[in-house]
Chains A and B, each alone.
Chain A
Amino acid sequence: MTKPIIEVKNLAKNFDKNVVLKDITEQVDPGQVVVVIGPSGSGKSTFLRCLNLLETPTSGQVSFDGQDLTTLDTKRVNALREEMGMVFQSFNLFPNMSVLENIKLAPMKVKGMGNDEATKLAHQLLQQVNLDDHADAFPTSLSGGQAQRVAIARALAMNPKVMLFDEPTSALDPEMVGEVLNVMQDLAAQGMTMVVVTHEMGFAKSVADRVWFMDDGYIQENSTPADFFAHPKTDRAKDFLSKILM
Chain B
Amino acid sequence: MKKKLAFIFALAFALFIGWGALTPTTAQAATDDSLSQVQKKGKLVMGTSPDYPPYEFQATVHGKSKIVGMDVAVGQKIAKDLGVKLVVKSMSFDSLLVALQTGKVDMVISGMNPTPARKKNVDFTHLYYQGGYSIVVNKSEKGLYKDKDSFKGKTIGAQTGSTMFNETKKQTTGTKVKGMTSVSDLILALQSHKIDGVAMEKPSAQAYVANNKQLAMIPSHFDLSSSDTSAAVAFKKGSTSLVNAANKSVDQIRKQNLVNKKYLPAAGKHLKTNTVNTSMWHYWKAFLTGVKYTLIITVCSVFFGFILGVILSLARMAHGGVLKTGLRWLATAYVEFIRGTPMMVQVMFVYFGLGLIVNLPALTSGIIAISLNSGAYIAEYIRGGINSVDEGQTEAARSLGLTSASTLRYVVLPQALKNIWPSLGNEFITLIKDSSIVSIIGVSELIFQSNIVRSDTYRGVAPIAVIMVLYFIMTFTASRILNYFERRMQHD
- Measured CB to CB, the residues of A under 8 A from B are 52, 54, 78-79, 81-82, 84-86, 88, 90, 92-96, 105-106, 109-110, 138, 151, 154-155, 158
Residue of A nearest to B396 (CB): A92
CB distance from A208 to the nearest CB of B (A): 22
Decide if B171 is an interface residue (CB 8 Å cutoff).
no
Residue of A nearest to B418 (CB): A96
Decide if B400 is an interface residue (CB 8 Å cutoff).
yes
Q: Show 13 A/B contacts (Cβ-Cβ < 8 Å), sorted by A.
A: A54-B398, A78-B398, A78-B401, A78-B402, A82-B400, A84-B399, A85-B399, A92-B392, A92-B395, A94-B410, A105-B397, A109-B402, A158-B401
Complex CA gap A106/B390 in Å reads: 19
Complex CA gap A86/B402 in Å reads: 13
Q: Chain B contacts of A81 at CB under 8 A?
A: 398-401
A106 touches B402 (CB 8 A): yes
Decide if B39 is an interface residue (CB 8 Å cutoff).
no
CB distance from B492 to the nearest CB of A (A): 7
Complex CA gap A217/B360 in Å reads: 65
Complex CA gap A151/B392 in Å reads: 13
Decide if B403 is an interface residue (CB 8 Å cutoff).
yes
Complex CA gap A110/B403 in Å reads: 8
CB distance from B241 to the nearest CB of A (A): 65
Task: Encode B336-364 as 1/0 by CB contact (under 8 A) with A.
Answer: 00000000000000000000000000000
Size bracket, chain B contacts: 10 to 19
20 additional contacts (CB under 8 A) given A88-B395, A105-B397, A110-B402: A54-B395, A78-B401, A78-B402, A78-B403, A79-B401, A81-B398, A81-B400, A81-B401, A85-B399, A86-B399, A92-B392, A94-B393, A94-B397, A94-B410, A95-B415, A96-B492, A109-B402, A110-B400, A151-B396, A155-B399
A158 touches B400 (CB 8 A): yes
A92 touches B390 (CB 8 A): yes
Known: A54-B395, A86-B399. A96 touches B415 (CB 8 A): yes
CB distance from B407 to the nearest CB of A (A): 9
Decide if B414 is an interface residue (CB 8 Å cutoff).
yes
Complex CA gap A105/B406 in Å reads: 10
Q: Among the interface residues A52, A88, A94, which one has the most CB atoms of the partner chain B within 10 A?
A: A94
Residue of A nearest to B403 (CB): A78
Q: Which of B406-427 contact A (CB under 8 A)?
A: 406, 410-411, 414-415, 418
A110 touches B396 (CB 8 A): no
Residue of B nearest to A106 (CB): B400
Q: Chain B contacts of A92 at CB under 8 A?
A: 390, 392-393, 395-396
Q: Chain B contacts of A151 at CB under 8 A?
A: 396
Q: Chain A contacts of B396 at CB under 8 A?
A: 86, 88, 92-94, 151
Q: Chain B contacts of A85 at CB under 8 A?
A: 399-400
Complex CA gap A138/B418 in Å reads: 15
Q: Chain A contacts of B400 at CB under 8 A?
A: 81-82, 85, 105-106, 110, 154-155, 158
A96 touches B414 (CB 8 A): yes
Partner of A110 from the list B390, B406, B411, B414 (CB cut-off 8 Å) is: B406
CB distance from A242 to the nearest CB of B (A): 33
Q: Among the interface residues A78, A93, A109, A151, which one has the most CB atoms of the partner chain B within 10 A?
A: A109
Q: Chain A contacts of B403 at CB under 8 A?
A: 78
A82 touches B401 (CB 8 A): yes
Q: Chain B contacts of A54 at CB under 8 A?
A: 395, 398-399
B392 touches A88 (CB 8 A): yes
A52 touches B399 (CB 8 A): yes
Residue of B nearest to A105 (CB): B410
Complex CA gap A15/B268 in Å reads: 82
Complex CA gap A142/B400 in Å reads: 21
Residue of B nearest to A101 (CB): B410
Q: Chain A contacts of B393 at CB under 8 A?
A: 92, 94
Complex CA gap A96/B415 in Å reads: 6
Complex CA gap A96/B407 in Å reads: 13
B410 touches A90 (CB 8 A): no
Complex CA gap A151/B395 in Å reads: 13
Residue of B nearest to A94 (CB): B411
Complex CA gap A246/B411 in Å reads: 43
Complex CA gap A82/B398 in Å reads: 9
CB distance from A217 to the nearest CB of B (A): 22
Complex CA gap A108/B214 in Å reads: 76
Q: Chain B contacts of A86 at CB under 8 A?
A: 395-396, 399
Complex CA gap A88/B392 in Å reads: 8
Q: Chain B contacts of A79 at CB under 8 A?
A: 401
Q: Chain A contacts of B390 at CB under 8 A?
A: 92
Residue of A nearest to B393 (CB): A92
Residue of B nearest to A53 (CB): B398
Complex CA gap A78/B407 in Å reads: 12
Q: Which of B260-297 contact A (CB under 8 A)?
A: none
Q: Chain B contacts of A105 at CB under 8 A?
A: 397, 400, 402, 410-411
CB distance from A172 to the nearest CB of B (A): 16
CB distance from A95 to the nearest CB of B (A): 7
CB distance from B78 to the nearest CB of A (A): 64
Residue of B nearest to A80 (CB): B401
Partner of A90 from the list B392, B398, B411 (CB cut-off 8 Å) is: B392
CB distance from B192 to the nearest CB of A (A): 54
CB distance from A41 to the nearest CB of B (A): 18
